[in-house]
Amino acid sequence: MKNGSFFVQREQLSGFMKNVGLKKCEGIVLSWETDPVAARRILPPPLELIDPEHPVVTAYVVNIREPTFAPWYMEACIGLVCRYRDIPGLTVLSLQLSGPGATMGMCTGRESAGLPKKLCERIVVERTDNYARAFVEAKSRRIFDVEVEVNSSEIPKQLAQAVKAKRGEQERGSCFLFTTEFALGSTADDVKFSKARLLNYEAVNAYELCEPAAIKSIVMEPSLDDPWAELSVVKPLMAGWGVYDNPVLGSSLLEEFEGEAADKLFPYLFAGRFDRSTICAGHQRYGQF
């Protein structure tokens, strides 16, 4: 059996996280209009909603079949459509991952890009003919469960055409992400953010296949640690079944925060990155996982 080493020659490292991309993603992408009060509460400043009265949530649940940095894994994401000054984009609130490549997907995403990723027990995406379903189970709760009808006759023709037209297209988009630093020191002190950076993480969705779908149901079970249910469905908008590549173009710095200004962001970034066990004394979980 071949063994590695805790020392890796420098020349072998030249490909480390180079030309990062998520290849051959397959699954459900969807959006809905959510409660404006909830959207305003959870959107970290200085980001702003594009339409404050009709905020839009985007979610996806996919199999990332060929990540460039890990074996395959399942990923589910929920975020709010927003803007930074005149740049439109998405703020990612929570990503849940499962499967063999999930640990590397989580570590590299959190540490390099500031993506709010956690591991969960189970993510399932399935499709049979025009029926497709996806669900996410985290800490024994089904925090997301969606059913869609692919190529449904209910979808307005113009909208269906627009979704189909994505096939072969390269759609470039921005995600607004925060990387943070904690202050070093004694653990007797309160832990505080000493620095935060708002990044424009740019990626492309290159669709090999994109089929329009009608949302039949979305059910989100409440959860203290992974509160996807907070983004309640006011009006289902659109869904699609897609197969696509998602190459990452890179991240650029939009704004830096220091001291108090950085620490003020912690309430917005906490739930996506940490569980409540980190802030309460009584916590335990037993059972079979």
Interface positions, 186-225, toward other proteins (CB under 8 A): 186-188, 190-191, 221-225
Please identify, among the stretches 54-62, 128-136, 149-157, 277-285, the one whose residues bind other proteins according to the rule CB under 8 A: 277-285
Please identify, among the stretches 103-111, 156-164, 167-175, 236-244, the one whose residues bind other proteins according to the rule CB under 8 A: 103-111
DSSP 221-271: ---SSS-GGGS--SEEEEEEEEEEEEEEEEEEEEEEEEHHHHHTTHHHHHH
Please identify, among the stretches 52-60, 114-122, 159-167, 205-213, the one whose residues bind other proteins according to the rule CB under 8 A: 114-122
Please count the other Cβ atoms lying within 10 Å of the Cβ belonging to residue 176: 26
Minimum CB distance to other proteins smaller for 149 or for 263: 263
Smallest distance from the beta carbon of 139 to other proteins, in angstroms? 7
260 binds other proteins (CB under 8 A): no
Binding mask 219-258 for other proteins (x = CB under 8 A): --xxxxxxx-xxx-----------------xxx-------
Long-range contacts of 181-189 (CB under 8 A, 24+ apart): 181/262
6 binds other proteins (CB under 8 A): yes
Which residue in the set 45, 100, 156, 259 belongs to the binding site for other proteins (CB under 8 A)? 100
Which residue in the set 34, 58, 94, 246 belongs to the binding site for other proteins (CB under 8 A)? 94
Minimum CB distance to other proteins smaller for 42 or for 163: 42
Long-range contacts of 113-117 (CB under 8 A, 24+ apart): 113/177, 113/179, 113/199, 113/201, 113/248, 113/251, 114/177, 114/178, 114/179, 114/180, 114/197, 114/199, 114/201, 115/177, 115/201, 116/92, 116/269, 116/272, 116/273
